[in-house]
Amino acid sequence: MLTGAFISAAIAMELPGPGTIYLGQTLQFRSPVTLGDTLTVALEITDKHSSRPWLTISTIVRNQNDKEVARGEATVMAPAKKETVTVIPPPAVQLLEDPDSASVDAN
Amino acid sequence: MLTGAFISAAIAMELPGPGTIYLGQTLQFRSPVTLGDTLTVALEITDKHSSRPWLTISTIVRNQNDKEVARGEATVMAPAKKETVTVIPPPAVQLLEDPDSASVDAN
Protein backbone atom coordinates (compact mmCIF):
# COMPACT_ATOMS: atom_id res chain seq x y z
CA MET A 1 0.00 0.00 0.00
CA LEU A 2 3.02 2.24 0.10
CA THR A 3 2.81 1.76 -3.66
CA GLY A 4 -0.73 3.07 -3.50
CA ALA A 5 0.46 6.15 -1.66
CA PHE A 6 2.86 6.93 -4.50
CA ILE A 7 0.00 6.69 -7.00
CA SER A 8 -2.09 8.97 -4.79
CA ALA A 9 0.74 11.52 -4.65
CA ALA A 10 1.27 11.43 -8.42
CA ILE A 11 -2.44 12.04 -9.03
CA ALA A 12 -2.68 14.82 -6.45
CA MET A 13 0.44 16.63 -7.64
CA GLU A 14 0.76 15.89 -11.37
CA LEU A 15 -2.18 14.39 -13.25
CA PRO A 16 -4.75 15.87 -12.97
CA GLY A 17 -2.96 17.70 -10.12
CA PRO A 18 -4.05 19.95 -7.23
CA GLY A 19 -7.81 20.11 -6.69
CA THR A 20 -8.41 16.54 -7.81
CA ILE A 21 -10.91 14.53 -5.78
CA TYR A 22 -9.91 10.88 -5.52
CA LEU A 23 -13.01 8.72 -5.92
CA GLY A 24 -11.58 5.23 -6.15
CA GLN A 25 -8.65 2.99 -6.92
CA THR A 26 -8.16 -0.61 -7.88
CA LEU A 27 -4.78 -2.24 -7.44
CA GLN A 28 -3.31 -5.61 -8.27
CA PHE A 29 0.00 -6.31 -6.60
CA ARG A 30 2.14 -8.17 -9.12
CA SER A 31 5.61 -8.38 -7.58
CA PRO A 32 7.07 -7.71 -4.15
CA VAL A 33 8.54 -4.30 -3.40
CA THR A 34 11.61 -4.37 -1.17
CA LEU A 35 13.65 -1.81 0.71
CA GLY A 36 15.82 0.23 -1.63
CA ASP A 37 13.65 -0.27 -4.71
CA THR A 38 13.06 2.77 -6.91
CA LEU A 39 9.45 2.96 -8.08
CA THR A 40 8.11 4.85 -11.08
CA VAL A 41 4.41 5.62 -11.41
CA ALA A 42 2.95 5.86 -14.95
CA LEU A 43 -0.44 7.56 -15.28
CA GLU A 44 -2.52 7.58 -18.45
CA ILE A 45 -6.03 8.98 -18.79
CA THR A 46 -7.98 6.21 -20.46
CA ASP A 47 -11.55 7.46 -20.25
CA LYS A 48 -13.49 10.66 -19.67
CA HIS A 49 -17.14 10.90 -18.72
CA SER A 50 -19.21 12.55 -21.45
CA SER A 51 -20.65 15.30 -19.27
CA ARG A 52 -19.03 15.22 -15.82
CA PRO A 53 -15.36 15.86 -14.96
CA TRP A 54 -14.79 12.21 -14.11
CA LEU A 55 -11.66 10.55 -15.42
CA THR A 56 -10.43 6.98 -15.45
CA ILE A 57 -6.64 6.80 -15.15
CA SER A 58 -4.54 3.72 -15.77
CA THR A 59 -1.97 3.44 -12.98
CA ILE A 60 1.10 1.27 -13.49
CA VAL A 61 4.02 1.10 -11.07
CA ARG A 62 7.38 -0.34 -12.11
CA ASN A 63 10.59 -0.88 -10.20
CA GLN A 64 14.16 0.00 -11.19
CA ASN A 65 14.36 -3.15 -13.36
CA ASP A 66 11.27 -2.05 -15.33
CA LYS A 67 9.34 -4.90 -13.71
CA GLU A 68 5.69 -4.16 -13.09
CA VAL A 69 5.00 -4.32 -9.36
CA ALA A 70 1.41 -3.04 -9.37
CA ARG A 71 -1.27 -1.98 -11.81
CA GLY A 72 -4.76 -0.69 -11.50
CA GLU A 73 -7.19 2.08 -12.28
CA ALA A 74 -7.94 5.33 -10.51
CA THR A 75 -11.26 7.15 -10.75
CA VAL A 76 -11.03 10.86 -10.05
CA MET A 77 -12.98 14.08 -10.33
CA ALA A 78 -10.74 16.57 -12.10
CA PRO A 79 -10.62 20.19 -10.92
CA ALA A 80 -12.72 22.58 -13.04
CA LYS A 81 -9.94 25.17 -13.18
CA LYS A 82 -6.20 25.16 -12.72
CA GLU A 83 -5.20 25.15 -9.08
CA THR A 84 -1.83 25.46 -7.43
CA VAL A 85 -0.66 24.22 -4.09
CA THR A 86 2.30 25.19 -1.94
CA VAL A 87 4.10 22.17 -0.62
CA ILE A 88 5.84 22.83 2.66
CA PRO A 89 8.99 20.72 2.93
CA PRO A 90 8.71 18.23 5.78
CA PRO A 91 10.83 19.04 8.83
CA ALA A 92 14.11 17.24 9.36
CA VAL A 93 13.73 14.21 11.57
CA GLN A 94 16.13 12.66 14.00
CA LEU A 95 15.74 9.10 15.26
CA LEU A 96 16.39 8.74 18.96
CA GLU A 97 18.06 5.61 20.33
CA ASP A 98 16.59 6.15 23.77
CA PRO A 99 12.90 7.09 23.70
CA ASP A 100 13.30 8.94 27.01
CA SER A 101 15.69 11.41 25.48
CA ALA A 102 12.91 12.66 23.21
CA SER A 103 11.06 14.41 26.00
CA VAL A 104 14.29 15.65 27.53
CA ASP A 105 15.37 17.26 24.27
CA ALA A 106 11.94 18.70 23.67
CA ASN A 107 11.93 20.66 26.91
CA MET B 1 -4.44 6.22 0.53
CA LEU B 2 -3.47 6.53 4.16
CA THR B 3 -6.80 4.77 4.61
CA GLY B 4 -5.52 2.00 2.35
CA ALA B 5 -2.42 1.65 4.50
CA PHE B 6 -4.60 1.03 7.56
CA ILE B 7 -6.44 -1.73 5.68
CA SER B 8 -3.12 -3.22 4.64
CA ALA B 9 -1.91 -3.21 8.24
CA ALA B 10 -5.11 -4.81 9.53
CA ILE B 11 -4.84 -7.60 6.96
CA ALA B 12 -1.13 -8.19 7.61
CA MET B 13 -1.48 -8.22 11.38
CA GLU B 14 -4.98 -9.51 12.15
CA LEU B 15 -7.02 -11.18 9.41
CA PRO B 16 -5.63 -13.41 8.00
CA GLY B 17 -2.49 -12.09 9.75
CA PRO B 18 1.26 -12.66 9.34
CA GLY B 19 2.25 -14.58 6.21
CA THR B 20 -0.60 -13.20 4.13
CA ILE B 21 0.23 -12.25 0.53
CA TYR B 22 -1.71 -9.21 -0.60
CA LEU B 23 -2.88 -9.76 -4.18
CA GLY B 24 -5.17 -6.83 -4.78
CA GLN B 25 -7.41 -4.16 -3.36
CA THR B 26 -10.29 -2.07 -4.61
CA LEU B 27 -11.25 1.10 -2.79
CA GLN B 28 -13.98 3.66 -3.17
CA PHE B 29 -13.41 6.84 -1.21
CA ARG B 30 -16.78 7.94 0.16
CA SER B 31 -16.03 10.81 2.52
CA PRO B 32 -13.02 12.99 3.28
CA VAL B 33 -10.67 12.00 6.09
CA THR B 34 -9.26 14.92 8.04
CA LEU B 35 -6.51 15.40 10.60
CA GLY B 36 -7.55 14.08 14.01
CA ASP B 37 -10.10 11.58 12.69
CA THR B 38 -10.15 8.15 14.31
CA LEU B 39 -10.57 5.40 11.73
CA THR B 40 -11.81 1.87 12.32
CA VAL B 41 -11.21 -0.88 9.76
CA ALA B 42 -13.78 -3.69 9.54
CA LEU B 43 -12.71 -6.86 7.72
CA GLU B 44 -15.04 -9.69 6.77
CA ILE B 45 -14.13 -12.73 4.72
CA THR B 46 -16.81 -12.90 2.07
CA ASP B 47 -15.51 -15.60 -0.27
CA LYS B 48 -13.02 -18.45 -0.33
CA HIS B 49 -11.65 -20.16 -3.42
CA SER B 50 -12.71 -23.80 -3.62
CA SER B 51 -9.19 -25.23 -3.89
CA ARG B 52 -6.62 -22.46 -3.41
CA PRO B 53 -6.01 -20.39 -0.27
CA TRP B 54 -7.43 -17.28 -1.90
CA LEU B 55 -9.81 -15.14 0.11
CA THR B 56 -11.97 -12.17 -0.72
CA ILE B 57 -12.28 -9.78 2.20
CA SER B 58 -14.76 -6.95 2.47
CA THR B 59 -12.94 -3.87 3.78
CA ILE B 60 -14.93 -1.01 5.28
CA VAL B 61 -13.40 2.00 7.00
CA ARG B 62 -15.46 4.26 9.25
CA ASN B 63 -14.58 7.41 11.14
CA GLN B 64 -15.35 8.34 14.77
CA ASN B 65 -18.91 9.34 13.79
CA ASP B 66 -19.53 5.88 12.31
CA LYS B 67 -19.57 7.47 8.85
CA GLU B 68 -18.20 5.27 6.09
CA VAL B 69 -15.14 6.93 4.58
CA ALA B 70 -14.01 4.10 2.30
CA ARG B 71 -15.11 0.64 1.25
CA GLY B 72 -13.70 -1.99 -1.01
CA GLU B 73 -12.49 -5.54 -1.36
CA ALA B 74 -9.13 -7.13 -0.70
CA THR B 75 -7.92 -10.29 -2.42
CA VAL B 76 -5.31 -12.18 -0.44
CA MET B 77 -3.50 -15.49 -0.31
CA ALA B 78 -3.82 -16.76 3.24
CA PRO B 79 -0.85 -18.41 4.96
CA ALA B 80 -0.98 -22.24 4.98
CA LYS B 81 0.00 -22.42 8.63
CA LYS B 82 -0.09 -20.08 11.58
CA GLU B 83 2.77 -17.64 11.52
CA THR B 84 3.89 -15.10 14.05
CA VAL B 85 5.79 -11.91 13.58
CA THR B 86 7.74 -9.80 16.02
CA VAL B 87 6.94 -6.16 15.61
CA ILE B 88 9.81 -3.93 16.62
CA PRO B 89 8.47 -0.68 18.03
CA PRO B 90 9.47 2.24 15.83
CA PRO B 91 12.19 4.47 17.27
CA ALA B 92 11.26 7.74 18.90
CA VAL B 93 11.44 10.61 16.49
CA GLN B 94 12.31 14.21 17.09
CA LEU B 95 11.42 16.95 14.62
CA LEU B 96 14.22 19.43 14.09
CA GLU B 97 13.48 23.11 13.53
CA ASP B 98 16.81 23.63 11.83
CA PRO B 99 17.64 20.91 9.27
CA ASP B 100 21.38 21.57 9.77
CA SER B 101 21.24 20.46 13.37
CA ALA B 102 20.34 16.94 12.22
CA SER B 103 23.77 16.16 10.86
CA VAL B 104 25.47 17.88 13.78
CA ASP B 105 23.60 15.75 16.31
CA ALA B 106 24.21 12.60 14.30
CA ASN B 107 27.99 12.94 14.47
d(CA A40, CA A65): 10
**Nearest chain B Cα to A99, which residue?**
B92
CB–CB contacts below 8 A, A to B: 83
| pTM: predicted TM-score of the whole model, two decimal places | 0.81
CA distance B54 to chain A (A): 14
pLDDT recorded at residue A98? 63
B75 dihedral zone (left: phi>0; alpha: psi -120 to 50; beta): beta
A90-99, B11-20, B27-36: which has the minimum mean pLDDT? A90-99
CB contact under 8 A, B96 and A96: no
Dihedral sign (CA A7, A11, A15, A21): positive
**Nearest chain B Cα to A102, which residue?**
B94
- Which of B94, B100, B103, B104 to probe the A interface (max A CBs under 10 A)? B94
Top-confidence residue, B91 or A74: A74
Mean pLDDT of chain A: 89
**Nearest chain A Cα to B107, which residue?**
A94
Residues 6+ apart with CB under 8 A from B84: B18
> Per residue in B56-102, pLDDT tens?
999 999 999 999 999 999 999 999 999 998 988 888 988 887 655 54
ipTM confidence: 0.78
CB contact under 8 A, B93 and A95: yes
Please compute the mean of the pLDDT values over residues A13-36 and round it to a whole number. 94
Report cis status (omega within 30 of 0) of the bond before A79.
no
Compute φ and ψ for B3, nearest 5 degrees. -55, -40
* Closest residue to B24, CB basis, from A24, A27, A97: A27
**Nearest chain B Cα to A12, which residue?**
B1
- For chain B, percent of residues with pLDDT exceeding 70: 91
Note whether A2 contacts B: Cβ–Cβ < 8 A: yes
pLDDT of A102 higher than 60: no
pLDDT recorded at residue B40? 96
- CA-based angle A99:A89:B96, to the nearest 5? 30
Residue B8 with chain A: CB contacts under 8 Å:
1
